[in-house]
A and B are shown apart, each in its own frame.
Chain A
Amino acid sequence: MARMNMIEAIRSAMDVKMSQDPDVLVFGEDVGFFGGVFRCTAGLQETHGLHRCFDTPISEGGIMGIAIGMAAAGLRPIAEIQFADYIYPGYDQIASEAARLRYRSNGEFTAPLTIRTPVGGGIYGGQTHSQSPEALFTHISGLKTIIPSNPYDAKGLLITAIEDNDPVLFLEPKRLYNGPFYGDPHAPAVNWSGHDLGEVPEGHYRVEFEKARKIADGDDLTILTYGTMVWVAQAAVNDLEVSADILDLRSLLPLDLESIAESVKKTGRCVILHEATKTSGFGAELMAQVQEHCFYSLEAPIERVTGWDTPYPHAQEWAYFPGPIRVKTAIRKVLEG
């Protein structure tokens, strides 16, 4: 076991897989020589060579398409998109090509590629460096969408993603790279070194998809969330001293419906949290699933706490971010309802 933050854990996953499998390659803008703007790929070029960890021009459409071609020919590319906000020039390749290759070739061709990209706010990035576009991808059949909330899961899930025989979008909540974030930007930053989930095996291990992690165990309500909001949820629950199940979904597609239904049937109350905008957000899907599977167990209307339906503003970052106050209000509301 070693102590790792999320950056080191992600790097370790790639390092382990590159050491095991010569078909694993890492590339993207500034990932090689520079080691990535968040340092996730630092050292991989030195260790594994220029031909296996390399820089690309600023060409997201081309990066995605080339990764798909490599994958179809048997390689296991890991392409980094520097910020999820830059993924749109590559969206066509992901949606029309990567996600459908298996289906339209009757399973003859597949695209086992991993797309890594940082998501979410919290660094004053404004509208082009803060987005959480997961719902644009969970809407696509043929693509898996994963989002870890801690170093342990990040490494295990990334290894599973690299080994997966289908395309996986791996979203990294950038606010969590260095430590858990409990929603108060003015509180001193905490790092992963003091956290149980910062304890990470050095070698190979998998964290399977379609399996939520229970962050807290309780009886009064269920909180369904993922990414940065996991820790905001935990802080709110601790503050209110309520007894809640907090499910860190980790794998949005495929989704662990079993754990979700089991928990909501037990508690009868549900709050859904995400940082992305509300309308047509992934929370809408979760709400629909809970309604379909747990309707007769529900004792109160489901609450959603999300980013507002606006672009991510520069100056009002913390008014946009669904912080602890909004989360606590929603928890109180479902408990009273």
Chain B
Amino acid sequence: MAQKLQGNAKLAKQKKIKTDQDDLTTLYRDMLLIRRFEEKAGQLYGMGQIAGFCHLYIGQEAVVVGMRHAMVEGDQMITSYRDHGHMLACGMSPRGVMAELTGRIGGYSKGKGGSMHMFSVEKKFYGGHGIVGAQVPIGAGLGFANKYLGNNAVSLAFFGDGAANQGQVYETFNMAELWDLPVIFVIENNQYAMGTSVERSSAETELYKRGISFGIEGVQVDGMNVLAVREAGLKAIKHARDGKGPMILEMKTYRYRGHSMSDPAKYRTRDEVKEMRGERDPIDAVKSRLLDEKWADLDSLKAIDKEIKEIVADSAEFALESPEPDPSELYTDVLVEV
């Protein structure tokens, strides 16, 4: 395990990446929105306002925010059930996401999908998928459509280290490279799949190498560094947009909370979590740089925090006030309605 953390530290020591006040403040704000939203979701779950499965993204914010800032209008995103952060990064409304968590009509899937299943055509977010690995070929299919339609868009398929062991991922790698599809495979390696660490589930633990036998270039990225993520994302997306086919980005990241809301956390030590939180937090890192560069002071950061807390509080209020779906909704959208 020491090695695992060291691996991350090595990645972290890379050069200081160029940015400016506006840019870094935006990244900070986007990550903080996810963090505060997830904290609120955790609270509502604790109060019994959210039921069933709920997978928080806390700790991994830099991955989706960095990648989102490497995308352009028209590019698509698809991910697993750990999807709240992706939706917020895509610009979906915090109200609509929170109301889906509480199972209300104001939610993106009218309460019928729940935490794991939300979509937005407008924001080019293709879900929220509860079946581990299922989104990966679908993401390549989005890439296929982009190529066929000649719309110049790139699709980003996010999946976990655990999902990286599903057979359909490799069928997809082969087809994506064979057909030069504009798709980026973003492996969010948070080092655990439920209670199983990468070491205990994977013969090859360096997940960026998983595309080698298909000829897919893979890069390992410090997923706790939002600028490093964006930099890698820009290169990979350019590669795909230039017609050179897919790439794999392995994001070394970490989830602070349990897998889902009930997780006895026997599989890792408190110290491990504490160390990551204390030393590698993606939001703290940006905060320090903002302060170091004198692009922010404690007051301006406080103001941002306040603003975000208001957005999140508003989403929670909406999610609790929105009515439950009408029984007639049970039958809508099973098949096309005429």
Contact = CB atoms under 8 A, between A and B. Distances in A.
Contacts of B109: 314
Nearest to B129: A128
B78 to A, nearest CB: 15
B110 to A, nearest CB: 8
B243 to A, nearest CB: 32
Interface residues of B, number: 42
A126 B53 contact: yes
A6 to B, nearest CB: 18
A33 B167 contact: no
B167 A126 contact: no
Given A57-B165, A89-B166, A314-B112, A33 B200 contact: yes
Given A30-B194, A55-B201, A61 B167 contact: yes
A327 to B, nearest CB: 18
Contact of A33 (B168, B196, B324, B327): B196
Contacts of A29: 193-194, 196
B130 interface: yes
Contacts of A85: 130-131
Contacts of A187: none
B113 A129 contact: no
A127 B162 contact: no
B193 A316 contact: no
B331 A58 contact: no
Given A125-B53, A128-B130, A313 B166 contact: no
Contacts of B167: 59, 61-62, 89
Contacts of B132: 58, 86
Contacts of B195: 30, 33-34
A316 B114 CA distance: 10
A308 B331 CA distance: 8
B327 A319 contact: yes
Given A29-B194, A310-B331, A320-B330, A59 B52 contact: no
B84 to A, nearest CB: 15
Given A55-B201, A58-B163, A89-B168, A314 B114 contact: yes
A1 interface: no
Nearest to A54: B200
A97 to B, nearest CB: 15
A282 to B, nearest CB: 20
Nearest to B81: A128
Given A55-B196, A61-B167, A126 B267 contact: no
Given A89-B166, A313-B330, A314-B112, A129 B52 contact: yes
A57 B330 contact: no
B54 to A, nearest CB: 10
Given A126-B117, A129-B130, A309 B334 contact: yes
Nearest to B200: A55
B133 interface: yes
B120 interface: no
A27 to B, nearest CB: 12
Given A33-B200, A59-B165, A314 B327 contact: no
B103 A58 contact: no
Contacts of B193: 29, 57-58
Interface string A304-322: 0000111101111001100
Interface string B129-147: 0111100000000000000
Nearest to B201: A57
Nearest to B193: A58
A30 B334 contact: no
Contact of B325 (A55, A62, A316): A316
A56 B167 CA distance: 13
Interface in B108-131: 109-117, 130-131
A121 B330 CA distance: 16
A29 B117 CA distance: 22
Given A59-B167, A127-B113, 19 more contacts: A37-B194, A57-B165, A58-B162, A58-B163, A58-B166, A59-B166, A85-B131, A89-B167, A125-B52, A125-B53, A126-B130, A128-B131, A313-B112, A314-B111, A314-B113, A315-B104, A315-B114, A315-B325, A320-B330
Interface of A: 29-30, 33-34, 37, 55-62, 85-86, 88-89, 123-129, 308-311, 313-316, 319-320
16 contacts: A30-B195, A57-B196, A58-B193, A59-B166, A61-B166, A124-B51, A124-B52, A126-B53, A126-B130, A314-B52, A314-B113, A314-B115, A315-B112, A315-B324, A316-B325, A320-B330
Interface of B: 51-53, 81, 103-104, 107, 109-117, 130-133, 162-163, 165-168, 193-196, 200-202, 266-267, 324-325, 327, 329-331, 334
Q: What are the nearest 5 A-B pairs in CB distance?
A: A128-B130, A314-B114, A124-B52, A315-B111, A315-B103
